[in-house]
Structure 1
Amino acid sequence: MTQTLMITQEHIKRYDVSGPRYTSYPTADRFVEAFDAAAYCRAVAQRNINSWTQPLSVYMHIPFCASLCFYCACNKIVTKRYEQGAIYLNYLQRELDLHLQQLGQQQAVNQLHLGGGTPTFLRDEELSRLMQVLKKAFTFSAEGEYCVEIDPRTVNQQRLQHLRNLGFNRLSFGVQDFNADVQEAVHRMQTYKQVATLMREAREMGFQSLNADLIYGLSKQTPVSFRQTISQIITLRPDRIALYGYAHLPSRFKPQRRILQEDLPSAVDKIQMLSEAVQQLMQAGYIYIGMDHFALPDDALAIAKQQGRLHRNFQGYSTMADQDILALGVSAIGKIGATYSQNAKTLEEYYDFLDQGQLPIARGLALSRDDLIRRAVIMAIMCHGELSYESIELSYMINFREYFKSELQQIVEKEKQGLVMMESDRIKVTDMGWFFIRAIAMVFDRYLQHDVNRARFSKIL
């Protein structure tokens, strides 16, 4: 990333704005309540009519956490009542049974992700029960990716071995930052030694891939302190690193009100943290996948990027093609064909749907042709940093230059700012442009162009 030194105060001022992360397009804030369980069932029926045989990806949301992290914007329930886990599993099984009535038994699955919350809030016997239910319902590929997010404070060697025995082959460690002052400020205390010991043990157990989540822009962070955190994570050599920018939205997420605005680093410091982190990681041999993901050269994510197979879904960058996602649990978002659906966001509503024998789908969206075209454009930018006009024209039978006439005028301005290079038949993101990739993608977001209320999104820097 040699062009990072070209980032100016003008760039930072211009792009210190709010915008989507584009884990989907259209973004989840565009979902409507008119898309309900009946609409979802129609999408599944269409999938069945088409004899769609591509394996499913399954996402399961476990919302419980034993302690509160002040920065967290996830859908979570902070509780010490561990018996809630068993109750929740009963409802998850009810939901799964309703889905199977539509999908049919023994669908092929090649990707499973347990997210949260804290999935390891569940006891070992509950995790065993969960996996038994899933293995009875689906046919899991021997070559699949089966990942669980873990809080290092909630696992030990025995728990790691139990997860491995259940069939998980990937772990995602919530690290965020190793600096003690930062950890205290965000109410998440865990030592480097804890994480290092667990990662070493996980490798010895044969987990195929380890991911570490980091956050820059947290309370009390400085470029100097974050540089040290990056140096420490490099010594642990996780296969993948997700480097997220902190999204401070206290009006939407109550726990963030405990974080003082004056304790947050400036946009200038945040871009310095990101810039230096990218350089440190690349010098250590990591491949910059894009936006917020890094991977070692032999990791499947890096190989997918090299081969042009990279995709982006609700969990971030993915090696899997644009496949259907079965979402289970409170607030979980799924995808079937050209539709998105989201479950009820509160536990009370989620349970109420299921007590009535109904799928807990509260809202969603059936994508229009324009949505599909723009999704392809935005995903090409976000995943590959390159947009071929011809590929879009052939796929959707449009004249790209005419269809996106006004957008291309805005892209000319991005070229003047050094974010992209425009060629006769394509747009290429520059090294510097990757720091502002969300701003480039936003140009093609039809909904956002007419949106006067962008404050609900996080800052793109």
Structure 2
Amino acid sequence: MDKDLLFKYNIPGPRYTSYPTVPYWQKTPPSIDKWKELVQDAFTVSNQKEGISLYVHLPFCESLCTYCGCNTRITINHAVENKYIQAVLKEWKMYCALLGEEKPLIRELHLGGGTPTFFSPGNLVKLVKGLLENAQVHTDARFGFEAHPGNTTDEHLEALYSVGFRRISIGVQDFNPVVLAMINRHQTFEQVKHLTLKAREIGYTSVNYDIVYGLPQQKNCSMMQTMLRVIQLKPDRIAFYSYAHVPWIKPGQRSYTEKDLPDADHKIAIYETGRNALELAGYEDIGMDHFALRSDELYKAATQERLHRNFMGYTDTRTQLLIGLGASSISDSWWGYAQNEKKVEDYYKKLAADELPVFRGHELSREDLIMRKHILRLMTSFETSWASSSEVCAELYQALERLSEMEVDELVELEPFRLRITEKGKAFVRNVCMAFDARLWADLPQTTLFSQTV
């Protein structure tokens, strides 16, 4: 890979799990009644044809991993589990009442965190059974959860398998003990190996590893060692993404300084080492930060042009409606977004008042919807087109003008009514999408909002 291009395009940029991105949502969000209307409309379009997706945010962790940018609540008090489960189930019942007599058809269910396996196996089963009590499960459903190797037990694996889970995402981050100590992550290679092998023995069909580059004290040689161990265990898919250093947002990152982080030159070298190792081991680049074996559904979805991207990342299913449950969760109706209260106490307070716990959102304009389509296509198939007038607006032509330098650098190819990201340009998909981000260009940030693209 051309290092000069990596340096040239290594700028802050969104990951585009939505468009518009959260910092560019409307200052005055749509009313709660409008949000309910958008949910009902999406449900009518989506439920019978493709089903809906559920994301449940379980924010509790016993200790703080200092690199983490997620919304978490640190506690060793497991008495919090029951109250939180009851709150999530109440929120879901409120949505079910909104959706009417037709039962939701669950196509995708994902438990994220925080640390979902903070909860006991019995309580996770209680939660999932409560969610499915008044719903149907799609015949081709995808149920997955995030697992911390340090506390995910065989009982967790068996309990979640018993209620339909077949996918597990393991937070590896790095295998180097020095790096793990710096980020306060307590786990071993043996724990990851046991978790991987046990999941497969039980019957899980897809194992994902999260690997992060750019962490404090991370070296090029240690990344090679990490990747050799990853390849040894052969997960089906891998999310290989950049550490975002934002101590002004996440104070836990102040436990180390910028001096502990690899500089730009070393970070790019670490990225290249990891990426090259994955490609040599047979992993295919299916989109931003994501690699998969050809046997995995994510790769198959990419080749069959049915890959999708939402707030859960890349998925091999697409639903019009994604409902996020729990503190800080984000919902997507295609025509609008809504995010729940971030603080657990505020989340509980709104539910106690029989209100949906939403605190901000965005209703997409016609221009938003057009640009969203193009960004989504670029993220999932590395190309887009605009032969129809319904896919054209002034912002589209402005985006194409911004791509002239990338065209010179052979990262994109422009044709009449069509744009394609080249093989050389795949590593820069975030940069290409930024050209289409009309709201970002209309109000360029004066402070750092996003992580570096490499």
TM-score band, normalised by the shorter chain? over 0.9
Q: Which of residues 18, 30, 51 is equivalent to 1:35? A: 30
Q: Which of residues 147, 166, 169 is equivalent to 2:166? A: 169
Specify the alignment match of 1:427 in structure 2. Answer: 419
The Cα of 1:14 is off from its aligned counterpart by 3.2
Code of the residue aligned with 2:67 in structure 1: it is Y
Give the RMSD, CA atoms, in angstroms. Answer: 1.7
Q: Which of residues 280, 283, 298 is equivalent to 2:280? A: 283
Specify the alignment match of 2:450 in structure 1. Answer: 457
Specify the alignment match of 2:188 in structure 1. Answer: 191
The one-character-per-residue Cα deviations of 1:182-220 (angstroms, maximum 9, x if unpaired) are 001111021111101111111010001111111000000
Tell whether 2:295 aligns with 1:301: no
Code of the residue aligned with 1:426 in structure 2: it is R
| Contact 1:37 1:360 survives alignment (8 Å) | no
The one-character-per-residue Cα deviations of 1:49-69 (angstroms, maximum 9, x if unpaired) are 658523000000000001110
* TM-score, normalisation: structure 2: 0.95
Tell whether 2:403 aligns with 1:407: no
Corresponding residue pairs, total:
450
| Contact 1:19 1:454 survives alignment (8 Å) | no
Distance in 2 (alpha carbons) for counterparts of 1:226 and 1:70 = 19
* TM-score, normalisation: structure 1: 0.94
Tell whether 2:96 aligns with 1:103: no
Distance in 2 (alpha carbons) for counterparts of 1:276 and 1:348 = 44
The 3 A distance-change label for structure 1 pair 357 and 243 is same
- Judge which range, 118-127 or 47-56, deviates more: 47-56
Code of the residue aligned with 2:8 in structure 1: it is R
Distance in 1 (alpha carbons) for counterparts of 2:121 and 2:234 = 28
| Contact 2:42 2:321 survives alignment (8 Å) | no
The one-character-per-residue Cα deviations of 1:92-148 (angstroms, maximum 9, x if unpaired) are 121111111101352101100000000111112211211220120211123211001
- Judge which range, 12-21 or 238-247, deviates more: 12-21
Distance in 2 (alpha carbons) for counterparts of 1:421 and 1:454 = 32
Distance in 1 (alpha carbons) for counterparts of 2:158 and 2:111 = 17
Distance in 1 (alpha carbons) for counterparts of 2:403 and 2:29 = 35
**Identical-residue share of aligned pairs (%):** 37
| Contact 1:214 1:241 survives alignment (8 Å) | yes
Specify the alignment match of 1:368 in structure 2. Answer: 365
| Contact 1:218 1:265 survives alignment (8 Å) | yes
Distance in 2 (alpha carbons) for counterparts of 1:7 and 1:389 = 33
SS at match of 1:404: helix
Specify the alignment match of 1:264 in structure 2. Answer: 261
The one-character-per-residue Cα deviations of 1:12-38 (angstroms, maximum 9, x if unpaired) are 443332111001101112234532422
The Cα of 1:274 is off from its aligned counterpart by 2.0
The 3 A distance-change label for structure 1 pair 454 and 380 is farther
Tell whether 2:306 aligns with 1:320: no
The Cα of 1:86 is off from its aligned counterpart by 0.9
Code of the residue aligned with 1:147 in structure 2: it is G
Distance in 1 (alpha carbons) for counterparts of 2:156 and 2:374 = 42
Distance in 1 (alpha carbons) for counterparts of 2:385 and 2:342 = 38
Distance in 2 (alpha carbons) for counterparts of 1:332 and 1:125 = 23
- Where does 1:12-91 land on structure 2 (aligned, <5 Å)? 12-32=6-26, 33-47=28-42, 52-53=47-48, 54-91=50-87
Code of the residue aligned with 1:23 in structure 2: it is T
Distance in 2 (alpha carbons) for counterparts of 1:155 and 1:52 = 33
Distance in 2 (alpha carbons) for counterparts of 1:277 and 1:413 = 27
The one-character-per-residue Cα deviations of 1:346-399 (angstroms, maximum 9, x if unpaired) are 111101101111010111111111001101111111111122232xx36x153x
Specify the alignment match of 2:232 in structure 1. Answer: 235
Code of the residue aligned with 1:17 in structure 2: it is I
Distance in 1 (alpha carbons) for counterparts of 2:44 and 2:226 = 51
Distance in 1 (alpha carbons) for counterparts of 2:272 and 2:319 = 30
Distance in 2 (alpha carbons) for counterparts of 1:444 and 1:121 = 40
SS at match of 2:355: coil
The Cα of 1:76 is off from its aligned counterpart by 0.3
Distance in 2 (alpha carbons) for counterparts of 1:382 and 1:118 = 27
Distance in 2 (alpha carbons) for counterparts of 1:427 and 1:12 = 21
Code of the residue aligned with 2:155 in structure 1: it is Q
Specify the alignment match of 2:178 in structure 1. Answer: 181
The Cα of 1:405 is off from its aligned counterpart by 2.9
SS at match of 1:23: coil
| Contact 2:282 2:293 survives alignment (8 Å) | yes
The Cα of 1:424 is off from its aligned counterpart by 3.7
Distance in 2 (alpha carbons) for counterparts of 1:387 and 1:318 = 19
Unaligned runs of 5+ residues in structure 2 are: none
| Contact 2:382 2:421 survives alignment (8 Å) | yes
The Cα of 1:48 is off from its aligned counterpart by 5.6
